[in-house]
Amino acid sequence: MPELTHHVVDANGIRVHVVEQGSGPLVILLHGFPECWYSWRHQLTMLAQAGFRAIAPDLRGYGRSDCPPDGGKYTILDYIGDMVGLIDTLGVDQAVIAGHDFGATIAWQAALMRPDKFRAVIGLSAPFRPRGFGTSVLPTTLMPQNDKAVYYQLYLATPQAEIGMEQNRRQTLRSLFYQMSGEASQAASATSADLGPGMIPRSGAALLESPPLPGWITSAELEVYIEEFTRSGFRGPLSWYRNIDRSWELLEMTLGAEVTVPALYVTGDRDFVAAANREFIPLQAKFVPKLRRPLILPGCGHWTQQERATDVSAAMIDFLQQL
């Protein structure tokens, strides 16, 4: 088996750090928040063993990739442009694109807009939604909030979120990995249920806890994330959430369009993102006619490819081999 290799490539006017393994048809793996290429560590090896060339980039603003100083350079079209540029730089014609969390949103829209470049798509956690929420008003105006809590995407767009996360990166990452995991305690789950799917206290108190590590991540693996966010900080990663409405505006040309390439959707039955978007999961087939039957993993929380590495890799490989 070839080893993991790290290198930096020029794509769409920025430098993108990528990690790859294997040879064969190209599969690009997009991480979510707060992650980096490392969230695909299990799939890189398993896909390579199955005869694929798997590449996991650090998305712009993350890890060892460039972090543009202009906060407006983190729209969905910027990220899609990075992936198109990556394919061109690698000298290949097409790739399958897979994504988790907001990486899935990028993957879905990339496949919709550029089926010539992305011949199939795999979305984890976040389902396909036509032009954001599929409505005629800005997405942030539809996100729930009250005196005690606010939808997580609204919170992550605030200066308060960045300040709080930077104060103690270890505690921030440990809290998020546990609280969004399928292993979260009954007390934490009950609190989340009281607030509603995707809701967090306005105080950001959820990031101030020091829970145990869930079973799917070791202390050494957590250290990798801490090192990467010490390198990048949180400004770039949080800039995605500060551009949600702008990204929605830029997708106006996709109104009524379908994702025409083969597609796979995988999520956990304890994933708060899936719960917050439950109405869109059964509607996906209307907009993604080549969508395979969704795979819902019991007991799995938000960190799909890490919590259920073997199941997710097997589903991806089965899908890829049938293309």
101 is catalytic: yes
Omega of the bond prior to 201 within 30 degrees of 0, cis? Answer: no
What's the rounded Cα separation, in Å, for the pair 220 and 205?
26
Reference 1, options 23, 29, 26, 30; nearest CA is 23
With contact defined as beta carbons under 8 Å apart, do 125 and 267 qualify? yes
Identify the residue whose tokens are 């249920």.
Answer: 193
Catalytic residue among 58, 66, 78, 101: 101
Residue 59 burial (CB < 10 Å; 0-12/13-18/19+)?
buried
CA 278-61-26 angle, 5° bins: 70
Two tokens, residue 1:
């088996």
Residue 121 burial (CB < 10 Å; 0-12/13-18/19+)?
buried
194 is catalytic: no
Residues 6+ apart with CB under 8 A from 294: 265, 266, 267, 281, 284
Catalytic residue among 269, 302, 311, 318: 302
Residues forming the active site: 101, 302
